[in-house]
Structure 1
Amino acid sequence: MKKFYKIGDVSKIYNISTDILRYYEKIGLLIPDSRKENGYRYYSEKQLWKLSNIRNLRKLGVGLKEITEFLETRSITKTEKMIDFQLEKIDKTIEQLLLLKSELENKKNNIIYFKNFKDYEKPMIKELDERYIYLTQGIFKEESEINLELKRLKDKVEEENDFLFTESEIGTIISQEDWEIGKYNDYSGTFIISKDKTNTTLEKGIYLTYFFKGDYKNIDEHYEKIKIYMDRNKYKAKGNIIELYHIEIHITENKNEYVTEIQIPLAKL
């Protein structure tokens, strides 16, 4: 005996609202097999199969118009093309998920690394490779301004490049001139380090690197400490100062857990 389902039953089985089912009926996508005089709609198992296809295709981003045309004029050739389309979409989704997984794993490893990190407030000299960045130039003084601008930059870059920045390093720039006169809270740019080539770079060279933990409000003390070290060791800055935010507001609300790295390009006096 052929089984029929009321619209409410279909709604519960597929966790889909009755309003959507009525809309599908209105546009001719999924018409009930019968409607009784009392207005009840009844769907056959064939209609449920059709609804399953509709839902699967919608999840893959197929438009309602394309779904309607496919279901109305199905053929072996069209089904084969639709399957190829679905496989392509699935492969792309898998690729994106694997990328996201890799980035989340890297971020977790970064958090673990800094949970065990001990070399805070110790100036160290390192050679750093050239790094490509997405940069927004401007004048930023407040932490809230920097966070807002970094968010805008991330949104812009993701929109233009279809790339996930879950793990990407973020930072700010202080001009060498401002830094030398002690204007440590005046930032001339915000940036995101990119894995791909861009038009802007942080130059390769010898850098003084300095990690500190905690609130940014004490940053003056750290910069003064760095200047004393540079004077003693006959170093001078030869470019803009970089701040990298390894652990920041997007990871923790506790400012005591923040980890910031200062990088200063060096030359000998």
Structure 2
Amino acid sequence: MKKLYKIGDISKLYNISNDILRYYEKIGLLAPDVRGENGYRYYSEKQLWKLNNIRSLRSLGVGLKEIIDFLHTRSIKKTEEMIEFQLKKIDENLKELLKLKNELELKKENIRYFENFSKYEIPEIKFFSERSILLKKGEFKDESEINLELKKLKRSSEEDNDFIFTKSEIGTLIKLEEWEKGNYFNYMGTFVITDEIKNSILESGEYLTYFFRGDYNFTEKHYITLKKYMNEKGYRAKGDIIELYHIEMHITENKEEYVTEIQIPLEKI
């Protein structure tokens, strides 16, 4: 006599809800082998084999309709095609996981770098080559709005990772005219520095760079310091002001741990 399993046994064995098993039965995907007079559903080894296949195919992104078609019309040719499909999906998943692993390792290195970084609040002039960015224009003024704009930007970049923008540097732009008037929180766009999907650039040239730690609410004092430095050295800003967020709300809730880099494109007066 073949061994039969109650729906509750299958639910516990495969960590799958009774409701999902009933739904599979409703759509003709996995019917119980026997239904007792008491209304209980009983599954045989044959159903366990089917459920193993269903779970395997679902984990690879195969739709329920395609799974039903495969299980109901199995043949050597169909099985070969399904195996080829599974192998292809596994290769794709491995490629994506390896990419994510590499990006997370870079992000970890970046966090460790700033844990040991000491050159805060020191103005430095550096040359940057042209950088490609994915820019999302919009007007906003505070941290929550910045986060919302970055989420919109994330959708535009078709990234799947909801944790952080792994390897990409993220930032905002302040229009030069607003910055000159002292409106340091009137942002006009968010961006990601990337070579993959791009729609704008940060121009090459000399930039005044400056790192600071802490809450964005103290940004004004840093800009006052930088304007004084520029006047003393005979420079002025020649383009929109860049803020890069190296350590931010996606990494820590402690605002004292935030690390922001200011980059101001320069020209001699």
TM-score band (shorter)?
over 0.9
1:192 Cα deviation from its structure 2 partner: 1.6
- What SS is found at the alignment partner of 1:265? strand
Aligned residues: 266
1:36 Cα deviation from its structure 2 partner: 2.2
1:252 Cα deviation from its structure 2 partner: 1.1
Distance 1:183 1:35 in 2: 73
Distance 2:19 2:140 in 1: 49
1:47 Cα deviation from its structure 2 partner: 1.6
Distance 1:197 1:131 in 2: 12
AA at the equivalent of 1:235: Y
Asked whether 1:138 is paired with 2:138, we answer: yes
AA at the equivalent of 1:219: T
Work out whether residues 135 and 199 of structure 2, in 8 Å CA contact, stay in contact via their aligned partners in 1: no
1:253 corresponds in structure 2 to: 253
- What SS is found at the alignment partner of 2:101? helix
1:63 corresponds in structure 2 to: 63
2:205 corresponds in structure 1 to: 205
* Superposition misfits of 4+ residues, deviation over 6 angstroms: none
2:152 corresponds in structure 1 to: 152
2:48 corresponds in structure 1 to: 48
Tell me how large the CA RMSD over aligned residues is: 1.7
Percent identical pairs in the alignment equals: 67
The worse-fitting range, judged by mean Cα deviation, of 245-254 and 13-22 is: 13-22
2:232 corresponds in structure 1 to: 232
Describe how 1:109-128 pairs up with structure 2 within 5 A: 109-128=109-128
Asked whether 1:11 is paired with 2:11, we answer: yes
AA at the equivalent of 2:225: K
Distance 1:29 1:148 in 2: 41
1:220 corresponds in structure 2 to: 220
Distance 2:21 2:127 in 1: 63
Unaligned segments of structure 1, at least 5 residues? none
Q: Deviations over 1:48-103 (max 9, x none)?
A: 11110011111111122211111111111110100011111111111111111111
- What SS is found at the alignment partner of 1:47? helix
Q: Deviations over 1:108-145 (max 9, x none)?
A: 11111001001011111111121111212232222222
1:173 corresponds in structure 2 to: 173
2:85 corresponds in structure 1 to: 85
Distance 1:68 1:82 in 2: 12
TM-score by length of 2: 0.93
Work out whether residues 158 and 165 of structure 1, in 8 Å CA contact, stay in contact via their aligned partners in 2: no
1:159 Cα deviation from its structure 2 partner: 6.3
1:197 Cα deviation from its structure 2 partner: 5.0
- What SS is found at the alignment partner of 2:37? coil
Distance 1:22 1:189 in 2: 49
Work out whether residues 119 and 211 of structure 1, in 8 Å CA contact, stay in contact via their aligned partners in 2: yes
- What SS is found at the alignment partner of 1:110? helix
Distance 1:74 1:124 in 2: 68
